[in-house]
């Protein structure tokens, strides 16, 4: 089914909306502004709901919108007024929302993820590319260039109320065709700061979490004191630290409410834990040196179906690691949410960079991602995209 790339609400055949395709008269649009998180001006909009007595195959009468608006029209999302491209309703859209405190690695992860999706797609001839010019420019300017070209480290994602919050626009990528249907992946990045504030739980511009197909929640092991204490000689200290992951998880679960996204809980910057192997005599060194562990290998770029068995093993291992990282309360709030209905969930470990950056620069060995595709392949597999039965 198709979904809106901004609010992630499913586009049904019961409710439609259009706007004028051209014209200079615009006015403040309170609906679009609420979902965008900043002021949006729109041209005139008309809506149409399916009449209660309509027959099964009902569709909007041809030219209905053109007649109402007096000229050419463009379809918009009836929930948030996002302008949809022609044919959007025929595509299968998978919507992913990033979550996590500040500096847990969300933005770096997206930058690397797209490259990995491109590599995986190539292995069966699927071209992964930005779907629109906004995505192309946002990905290039805020993700790819800062990481791959300047070899520096990305700036913190601005909170939604500040100057140029590029994360307000969804990142839309085409995954090519699968089962003869155009496949689209939408990713919405978020500023950790916005999730560290529990008062934002009701903000309309964060409600996309409730309608997402996948929520990728990142947990940063470098926030855990017992880890950083052991690491201080091995891994350069990271100066940017975010808020309490438990608050963020609570806010995110609060926003999701009765929604049913797949929840991926991701241990990010896994390279940092891997470097604990060299802390002699510590129990972390024993745990992390286990060659038989699922977290010691990476299947994510194999052009076979998502390996569910491997995913389940990793799930158990990462759950144990999180308990060892004093994150038991977090695991409990996933298992026993206040709604009484746990979300479909799975635990993952990823390293986008492969090695810790030194100060503000990437490590000399460059970017060597580890298991970055797993969470997205899991979400895609649950929707039978890029997956063989």
Residues that bind Zn ion (CB under 5 A): 4, 6-7, 77, 79-80, 82
Nearer to Zn ion, 10 or 26 (CB): 10
With a CB cutoff of 8 Å and minimum separation 6, the contacts of 90 are: 2, 181, 182
Nearer to ligand GDP, 102 or 188 (CB): 102
Q: Is 154 in the site for ligand GDP (CB under 6 A)?
A: yes
Q: From Mg ion, ligand GDP, Zn ion, none, which one binds at residue 356 (CB under 5 to 8 Å depending on kind)?
A: ligand GDP
Separation CA 333–CA 342 (nearest Å):
9
Q: How far is the CB of 192 from ligand GDP (least distance, A)?
A: 5
Residue 307, Cα to own-chain centre: how many angstroms?
21
Separation CA 222–CA 341 (nearest Å):
30
Stretch that binds Mg ion, among 98-106, 196-204, 246-254, 256-264 (CB under 5 A): 98-106
Stretch that binds Mg ion, among 67-75, 87-95, 106-114, 196-204 (CB under 5 A): 106-114
Phi first, then psi: give them for residue 152, nearest 5 degrees.
Answer: -95, -160
Please select the residue that binds ligand GDP; options are 2, 238, 274, 300, rule is CB under 6 A: 238
- Under 8 Å between Cβ of 169 and 80: no
Please select the residue that binds ligand GDP; options are 138, 157, 251, 274, rule is CB under 6 A: 157
Question: Across-strand partners of 46?
Answer: 18
Question: Across-strand partners of 171?
Answer: 187
Instruction: Round to the nearest angstrom and report the end-to-end CA distance of the chain.
Output: 19
Stretch that binds ligand GDP, among 78-86, 98-106, 158-166, 305-313 (CB under 6 A): 98-106
- Under 8 Å between Cβ of 141 and 135: no
Q: From Mg ion, ligand GDP, Zn ion, none, which one binds at residue 34 (CB under 5 to 8 Å depending on kind)?
A: none
Please select the residue that binds ligand GDP; options are 172, 272, 327, 379, rule is CB under 6 A: 272
Q: Is 356 in the site for ligand GDP (CB under 6 A)?
A: yes
Considering only residues 189 through 248, tell me which ones interact with Mg ion, judged by CB under 5 A: none
Q: From Zn ion, Mg ion, ligand GDP, none, which one binds at residue 77 (CB under 5 to 8 Å depending on kind)?
A: Zn ion
How many amino acids of this chain bind Mg ion (CB under 5 A)? 3
How many amino acids of this chain bind ligand GDP (CB under 6 A)? 23
Q: Which residue has the tokens 């964060």?
A: 206
Please select the residue that binds ligand GDP; options are 269, 346, 371, 377, rule is CB under 6 A: 269
Stretch that binds ligand GDP, among 40-48, 195-203, 266-274, 302-310 (CB under 6 A): 266-274
Q: Is 274 in the site for Mg ion (CB under 5 A)?
A: no
Separation CA 259–CA 273 (nearest Å):
33
Separation CA 145–CA 322 (nearest Å):
33
- Under 8 Å between Cβ of 252 and 215: yes
Q: How far is the CB of 99 from ligand GDP (least distance, A)?
A: 9
Strand ranges for the chain from DSSP E: 15-20, 27-28, 41-42, 45-49, 73-76, 92-100, 129-130, 171-178, 181-188, 214-219, 262-267, 345-349
Q: Reduce the DSSP state of residue 296 to 3 states and report it.
A: helix
Q: From ligand GDP, Zn ion, Mg ion, none, which one binds at residue 103 (CB under 5 to 8 Å depending on kind)?
A: ligand GDP
- Closest by CA position to 345, among listed 223, 249, 248: 249
Phi first, then psi: give them for residue 49, nearest 5 degrees.
Answer: -105, 150
Q: From ligand GDP, Mg ion, Zn ion, none, which one binds at residue 102 (CB under 5 to 8 Å depending on kind)?
A: ligand GDP
Please select the residue that binds Mg ion; options are 2, 94, 157, 356, rule is CB under 5 A: 157
Stretch that binds Mg ion, among 51-59, 157-165, 201-209, 257-265 (CB under 5 A): 157-165
Q: Is 107 in the site for Mg ion (CB under 5 A)?
A: yes
What is the helix (H) or strand (E) element at residue 71, kind and residue range? none
Q: Which residue has the tokens 């005599």?
A: 281
Nearer to ligand GDP, 146 or 261 (CB): 146
Alpha-helical regions (H) of 98-244: 106-122, 133-139, 192-196, 208-211, 225-231
* Chain residues that interact with ligand GDP, rule: CB under 6 A: 100, 102-108, 153-154, 156-157, 192, 238, 240, 269, 271-272, 351-353, 356-357
* Chain residues that interact with Mg ion, rule: CB under 5 A: 106-107, 157
């Amino acid at each position: 089914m198709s979904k809106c790339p901004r609010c992630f609400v499913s586009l049904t055949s019961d409710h439609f909306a259009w706007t004028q395709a051209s014209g200079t008269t615009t006015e403040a649009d309170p609906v679009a502004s609420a979902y965008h998180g900043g002021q949006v001006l729109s041209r005139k909009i008309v809506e149409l709901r399916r009449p209660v007595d309509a027959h099964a195959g009902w569709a909007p009468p041809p030219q209905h919108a053109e007649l109402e608006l007096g000229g050419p029209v463009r379809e918009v999302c009836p929930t948030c007024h996002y302008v949809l491209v022609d044919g959007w309703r025929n595509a299968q859209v998978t919507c992913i929302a990033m979550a996590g405190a500040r500096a847990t690695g969300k933005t770096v992860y997206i930058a690397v993820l797209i490259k990995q999706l491109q590599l995986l797609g190539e292995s069966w001839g699927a071209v992964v590319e930005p779907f629109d010019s906004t995505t192309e420019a946002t990905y290039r300017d805020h993700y790819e260039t800062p990481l791959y070209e300047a070899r520096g480290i990305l700036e913190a994602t601005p909170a939604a109320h500040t100057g140029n919050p590029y994360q307000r626009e969804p990142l839309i990528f085409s995954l090519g065709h699968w089962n003869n249907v155009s496949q689209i992946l939408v990713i919405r990045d978020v500023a950790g700061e916005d999730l560290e504030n529990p008062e934002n739980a009701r903000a309309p511009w964060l409600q996309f979490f409730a309608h997402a197909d996948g929520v990728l929640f990142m947990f940063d092991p470098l926030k855990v004191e017992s880890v950083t204490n052991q690491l201080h000689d091995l891994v350069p200290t990271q100066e940017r630290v975010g808020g309490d992951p438990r608050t963020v998880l609570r806010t995110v679960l609060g926003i999701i409410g009765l929604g049913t996204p797949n929840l991926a809980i991701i241990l990010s910057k896994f390279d940092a834990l891997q470097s604990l192997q060299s802390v002699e005599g510590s129990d972390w060194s024993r745990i992390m040196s286990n060659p038989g562990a699922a977290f010691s290998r990476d299947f994510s770029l194999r052009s076979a179906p998502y390996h569910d068995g491997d995913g389940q093993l990793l799930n158990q291992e990462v759950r144990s690691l999180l308990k060892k990282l004093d994150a038991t309360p977090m695991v409990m709030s996933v298992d026993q949410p206040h709604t009484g209905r746990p979300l479909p969930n799975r635990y993952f470990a990823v390293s986008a960079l492969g090695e810790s950056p030194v100060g503000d620069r990437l490590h000399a060995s460059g970017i060597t991602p580890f298991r970055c595709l797993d969470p997205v392949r899991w979400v895609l597999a649950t929707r039978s995209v890029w997956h063989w039965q």
